[in-house]
Amino acid sequence: MAITLNSGFEMPIVGLGVWRMEGKDIRNLLINAVKIGYRHFDCAADYQNEREVGEALTEVFQSGLVKREDIFITTKLWNSDHGHVVEACKNSLRKLCLDYLDLYLVHFPIATRHTGIGTTSSAIGEDGILDIDTTVSLETTWHAMEDLVSMGLVRSIGISNYDIFLTRDCLAYSKVKPAVNQIETHPYFQRESLVKFCHKHGICVTAHTPLGGAVANTEWFGSVSCLDDSVLKGIAEKYKKTVGQIVLRWGIQRNTVVIPKTSKLERLRQNLKVFDFELAKEDMELIKSLDRNYRTNQPAKFWGVDLYA
């Protein structure tokens, strides 16, 4: 199942996110994922594993398992490369062993001090907060992203972690409209107005952290996992599915693309097996009532500055 982006290209509705995937595990995970049926991979320069993803993709293509055009690859521009968009994109392409990207996203709406292409550091100033680059505006960054499309390096461009107002601004200054806004959203953080705003303006919403980060975000950020929610557990029992599958299915039924990460083979299978059932309207409503406006991923932990404040 795929969604047609405003660029005219199709993006599979379920993808595999590769953040916090160990480089050594990537080869087997990616090859297994392709065998299971994954056709969409969500990467980023910041995940420090583009090289391993590229090696695995090369193997997948050479083995004849799938062709390049059958796979949708997203990667992201890191904050410290806003002033160096073309070089950063070419660096990611080189590591991923690709000659074009399906989707390139501005990872966060913030430019930080440049520390060398692909270094993806988050330089902290003497004051203990992120060293923000005040010379590069988001508009300048976006126009450089647009150039990537005319250069044929990227098929679609988009944004990530943009709120309504930043998205509105991007729509106002863009010649090429953002195809995607990738944001944290899950049952505890539904962001209905942002999702509706994006859809209204033809921007596809990709749900990052679609499982609420589960155990990983509990470990990293101390967050509560929606996978432990008793109401969701009840719905899972009713449909004879796992809570993860219910949460992903809910994401799909609200027309968001979901990119769960897992390093476990059984869960790779499980997370893609969400097209053989449908949540009834009353259960969609029940899940809607669980919203807590609860963000689990808090980059402020590393940056000393709250991007969302």
Ligand X SMILES: NC(=O)c1ccc[n+]([C@@H]2O[C@H](COP(=O)([O-])OP(=O)(O)OC[C@H]3O[C@@H](n4cnc5c(N)ncnc54)[C@H](OP(=O)(O)O)[C@@H]3O)[C@@H](O)[C@H]2O)c1
Choice from 75, 122, 141, 160 touching ligand X (CB under 6 A): 160
Q: CA angle at residue 292 from 302 to 105, to 5 degrees? A: 50
Using CB under 6 A as the binding rule, whether residue 120 contacts ligand X is answered as no
Among 153, 210, 249, 279, binds ligand X (CB under 6 A): 210
Q: Is 100 a catalytic residue?
A: no
Q: Which of 116, 113, 117 has the alpha carbon at shortest distance from 94? A: 117
Q: Is 251 in the site for ligand X (CB under 6 A)?
A: no
Q: How many residues does the chain have?
A: 309
Say which residue the tokens 């992201």 belong to. Answer: 76
Write down the H helix ranges in the chain: 23-36, 50-62, 85-96, 138-150, 164-173, 192-200, 214-221, 230-239, 243-253, 265-272, 281-288, 300-303
Applying CB under 6 A, which part among 6-14, 60-68, 257-265, 281-289 lies near ligand X?
Answer: 257-265
Site for ligand X contains 250 (CB under 6 A): no
Of 161, 181, 185, 190, the residue at the interface with ligand X (CB under 6 A) is 161
> Counting contacts by CB under 6 A, is residue 260 touching ligand X?
yes
β-pairing, 10-12 vs 2-4, is antiparallel
Output DSSP code: residue 275: S
Number of residues located near ligand X, criterion CB under 6 A? 31
- Establish if 167 lies at the interface with ligand X (CB under 6 A): no
DSSP letter (8 states) at residue 98: -
Q: Nearer Cβ to ligand X, position 19 or 303?
A: 19
Choose, by CB under 6 A, the member of 36, 263, 290, 294 that binds ligand X: 263
Binding site for ligand X (CB under 6 A): 17-20, 42, 107, 160-161, 182, 208-216, 227, 242, 244, 259-264, 267, 270-271, 297
Report the catalytic residues. 47
